[in-house]
Chains A and B, each alone.
Chain A
Amino acid sequence: MILRTLNLDKYFGSLHAVDNVSLDIEEGEVRAIIGPNGAGKSTLLDLVSNRTRSSSGRVFFRDSEITGLAPHKIASKGIGRCFQVSKLFPGLSAFDNVQIACISRSDKTYDMFSSGSETHRDDVLGHLESVGLGGMVDDLAGYLSYGDQRRLEIAITLAMKPALLLLDEPTAGVSRAEGHDLMRLVKGLVADQSLTIIFIEHDMDMVFKYADRVSVMHLGRLMITDTPEEIKNNDLVRNIYLGDKAT
């Protein structure tokens, strides 16, 4: 078990955005979280990485409790996060973007007396190469195409060498072909780097093709977790997506 949430709750005023969610993620798993808009998927990831503080409930990462830990500490423990809207260093080159992640990972954030430009050079180039940005090392992150920005964010996150990667709609806004490229890339990383992935996705093609297991959320609650095949044929899920009363 790499990640476990116990009875997570989040209220925004009277809105119960995440309702008593207990989630277990196995090591090496690719888990998709699906559900209609407003189901609480992104909020759930925010609670795990403590971008938003939970109202109640607990989070465990590899058997140690991380509930309420500062986001930078959770990140250092090995939980990487890609956001729904790419969060990059827009005025810096692709190289610098990834390099900063390497600097942070290797505890060189406070190294003031060595050369900044050469630090982790090979590492950085390797990460850029692995997401297919080898030819855009010097390009400014802010000027990259949307799809390339998604790739760059994945490269940045991977450079932290996380054990668990949280991806919020990695293929939203990119072409279908690009989306498949991205997901193949991510899936490949699971094998190569013994990563565990949780990804939020709306495109069912992607979900059924790349996820090992799928969790369905609706109105803040975790409705069901099962294999893609079972989910595909599940009446409850069908009802949720068709808008019927599900419970």
Chain B
Amino acid sequence: MARLPLQKQSIGLAVGALAALSVLGLFLPPHWTQLLTRVLIMALFATSLNIQVGYAGMLPLGHSMFLGLGAYSFCLLLVKTGMPQILAFPLALLISTAMCVIIGYLCLKSNEPMTFGLLHLAFNILLSTLINKWITFTGGEVGITGIARPAMLADTTYFFFFVLAWFVLCYIVIGIVVSSPFAKAAHGLRENEERLRFLGVNIARFQLVIFTISGLFAAVAGILLSMLDKGAFPAYITLTRSAEALMMCLIGGMFSFFGPTVGAAIVVVFGTVTSIYISQWQGLLGIIILACVIGFRGGLLGRGRKIGLSGDGS
């Protein structure tokens, strides 16, 4: 994993992992399949965040708002209009992306990394509060419940493969995007913003495009998550959730394509399994993060040096 773009060997690895996932999905007991589905969704969420963090060096602190926006716009469309899910899915994506452009534009106005991060956080808090307090519209702390999946996807296994298909599709698109000239310029943004500006790149617009792509995939994850949980809940859009996504990137390694995926698997599986036995499992998670940050600089899939992140260009 010497460089960010997908390489042949990682494609081979990905195909192997895909086969293994399919077998697991077919033969695991339902509650494990469900857990696996959640891993895939959160992996997509973490990977969407990493487009900003690992590739472009931006630090959005409230990324969960786009997970929440996807989930809530999808569920609200269903509840308020009664439209079929196949229609609500793309429409919710459209709404979330539009919101993403607006929020991104406002966050990026100042052109200061610190202000960007904090504004992002502020929007996260704002939306999270809105969802908690606007009880008549969003259901408040209870959230929106009872969103049944279409009959075809009601079965856990079928739904798993539905999510897997989306997961693969999104990863292929992201994989292509992060190997493109666009991604090269994003590396430049991470390394030296002023240099990139003096090469003729409109930094604010460039960042907004990265931001929107990242938010779009987070919204896909949000919609899938709401289908899995059969509803939308305030917990989707909390600061803890935003921090969790950053942790996934850190644990797995934000300078590798599959790093956040590995991080997501660890956080979700670990969180679910240990929370059965220990109530304070987040403390343990903290220790894991410390170990990863100190012991594996650059994350589990990183090479421990910043050098490995960019590749050789040949």
**Which A residues fall within an 8 A CB radius of B?**
49, 51, 70-73, 75-76, 80-81, 87-93, 95-96, 99-101, 103-105, 108-117, 119, 124, 137-138, 140, 156, 160
Chain B 147-194 interface residues, beta-carbon cutoff 8 Å to A: 176-177, 179-185, 187-188, 190-192, 194
CA distance A117 to B203 in the complex (A): 22
**How many residues on chain B are close to A (CB under 8 Å)?**
35
B178 → A minimal CB distance (Å): 8
Given A91-B306, A104-B199, do A138 and B313 touch, yes or no (CB 8 Å)?
Answer: yes
Of all chain B residues, the one with the shortest Cβ separation from A141 is B191
Decide if B187 touches A72 in the complex (CB within 8 Å). Answer: no
Asked if B27 lies at the interface with its beta carbon under 8 angstroms from chain A, I say no
Decide if B188 touches A92 in the complex (CB within 8 Å). Answer: yes
CB neighbours (8 Å) of A73 from chain B are 200, 202
Decide if A115 touches B179 in the complex (CB within 8 Å). Answer: yes
Identify A95's interface contact among B176, B195, B312, CB under 8 A: B312
Asked if B98 lies at the interface with its beta carbon under 8 angstroms from chain A, I say no
Asked if B196 lies at the interface with its beta carbon under 8 angstroms from chain A, I say yes
CB neighbours (8 Å) of B312 from chain A are 93, 95, 137-138
Decide if A91 touches B310 in the complex (CB within 8 Å). Answer: yes
CB neighbours (8 Å) of A70 from chain B are 202
CB neighbours (8 Å) of A113 from chain B are 176-177, 180
CA distance A61 to B198 in the complex (A): 16
- Other contacts beyond A90-B191, A95-B314: 7, CB < 8 A: A87-B192, A88-B192, A89-B188, A93-B312, A96-B313, A137-B312, A137-B314
Asked if B286 lies at the interface with its beta carbon under 8 angstroms from chain A, I say no
B interface, over-half SS:
helix
Given A113-B177, A116-B181, A160-B199, do A93 and B192 touch, yes or no (CB 8 Å)?
Answer: no
CB neighbours (8 Å) of B183 from chain A are 112, 116
Asked if B311 lies at the interface with its beta carbon under 8 angstroms from chain A, I say yes
CA distance A101 to B181 in the complex (A): 11
Identify B198's interface contact among A49, A96, A140, CB under 8 A: A49
Decide if A112 touches B313 in the complex (CB within 8 Å). Answer: no
19 contacts between A and B (CB under 8 A): A71-B198, A72-B197, A76-B200, A87-B198, A88-B192, A91-B191, A91-B307, A92-B191, A92-B313, A93-B312, A93-B313, A96-B184, A99-B184, A109-B182, A110-B206, A112-B182, A114-B181, A137-B312, A138-B312
CB-CB contacts of B288-314 with A at 8 A, as 1s and 0s? 000000000000000000110111111
A179 → B minimal CB distance (Å): 23
CA distance A159 to B209 in the complex (A): 24
Decide if B313 touches A104 in the complex (CB within 8 Å). Answer: no
CB neighbours (8 Å) of B182 from chain A are 108-112, 116
Decide if B184 touches A116 in the complex (CB within 8 Å). Answer: yes
CB-CB contacts of B245-261 with A at 8 A, as 1s and 0s? 00000000000000000
CA distance A119 to B187 in the complex (A): 15
Of all chain B residues, the one with the shortest Cβ separation from A77 is B200
Given A95-B313, A109-B181, A113-B177, do A89 and B192 touch, yes or no (CB 8 Å)?
Answer: yes
CA distance A238 to B180 in the complex (A): 55
Q: Which of B5, B192, B313 is the most central at the interface, judged by chain A CB atoms within 10 Å of its CB? A: B313
